[in-house]
Amino acid sequence: MLTFVLIAFLSSAQLSAAGGFPPALPAVGEPSLQQTSPLIEFRARSLQPGEAVLIRVKGWEMMSEVRGRFLNQELHFFSQAGEWSALGGVGLATSPGDYQLEIEGTLPDGTLLKAVKDFTIEKKIFPLQSLKVDPRFIVLSPEDQRRAAEEQEIMRKVWENPQPVRLWRGRFLAPIPDVEGRGFGNFRVFNDQRRSQHTGVDMSAPEGTPLRACNSGVVVLAMELFFGGNTIFIDHGEGLYSMYFHLSEILVKKGDMVIRGETIGLVGATGRVTGPHLHCSIRLKGARLDPFSLFSLALEEE
């Protein structure tokens, strides 16, 4: 786990130049430099496409609210022991390059203070992989085409209507303990024909192995899909979803609240698969993340 630290000592003149922010208005006594310059820390395995990033802001204990923007994602900061934290993600499709995090805090009297942090997304090379699957998943019948399109629409509607509040707490758990997740981001060629990018990880386990919810949330999809087979989506709130595919059995239903670690289904080989395994994927505000980058984040228990 690498930790990136930057101390944002910025005058209001720099802030105005950087982002066109208005200078902070002195309210009841000018806030001291110490108070206005937060320490912004990134916790992540790396800053590369597909990585979850915990953004922590220290030194802004006096704020009543903190907001921010990271790679076009609105950040939802929560306060814990005087520090503000938010979950961000570098989407699989994010281009390498230089970016800027913007944060804004509101003092109890309504005064707004802003700070920025520059960061760089490094390039990541994803390997190419060949797979053989049942040809009916490659050249779809008109009926299967219709079905796949309908299911795509169902998923899109789920992702467009996230729970507005955070339902997850503390660290995220791998859905099957002690099993590695493979192939995130790989470019895949199915039956030498269809090419796509693998937006989740595959976890090998025998058929019938129980799998657990990686964190608390509400079940927003629990059904059999053409490609995904028996599938569960958990909405963890504020645009974060965990998704579990190819199950032999679904043990929850749509609308159920689940708690972190609860058994939700059994590993199987339904849908477009080469054998029994769990395909797990994570989506944060539209960004596709390597689930293990999220599971490895050092989040404090709440």
**Interface contacts to Zn ion, rule CB under 5 A:** 202, 279
Comparing CB distances to Zn ion, the nearer of 202 and 235 is 202
Q: 132 and 274 in contact (C-beta within 8 Å)?
A: yes
Q: How far is the CB of 278 from Zn ion (least distance, A)?
A: 9
Cα distance between residue 220 and residue 241, in whole Å: 9
Q: How far is the CB of 160 from Zn ion (least distance, A)?
A: 24
Q: Which residues pair with 116 in a beta bridge?
A: 102
Comparing CB distances to Zn ion, the nearer of 4 and 137 is 137
Comparing CB distances to Zn ion, the nearer of 104 and 202 is 202
Comparing CB distances to Zn ion, the nearer of 70 and 233 is 233
Report helix, strand and coil shares of the chain as percent, to nearest 5.
Answer: 15, 45, 45
Q: How far is the CB of 215 from Zn ion (least distance, A)?
A: 20
Q: CB count, 10 Å around CB of 190?
A: 19
Q: How far is the CB of 200 from Zn ion (least distance, A)?
A: 5
Q: How far is the CB of 87 from Zn ion (least distance, A)?
A: 23
Nearest to 89 by CA among 234, 281, 284: 284
Comparing CB distances to Zn ion, the nearer of 236 and 279 is 279
Residue nearest to Zn ion (CB): 279
Token pair 């937060």: residue: 38
Q: How far is the CB of 209 from Zn ion (least distance, A)?
A: 16
Nearest to 268 by CA among 185, 176, 178: 176
Cα distance between residue 102 and residue 89, in whole Å: 15
Nearest to 108 by CA among 165, 27, 15: 27
Comparing CB distances to Zn ion, the nearer of 260 and 279 is 279
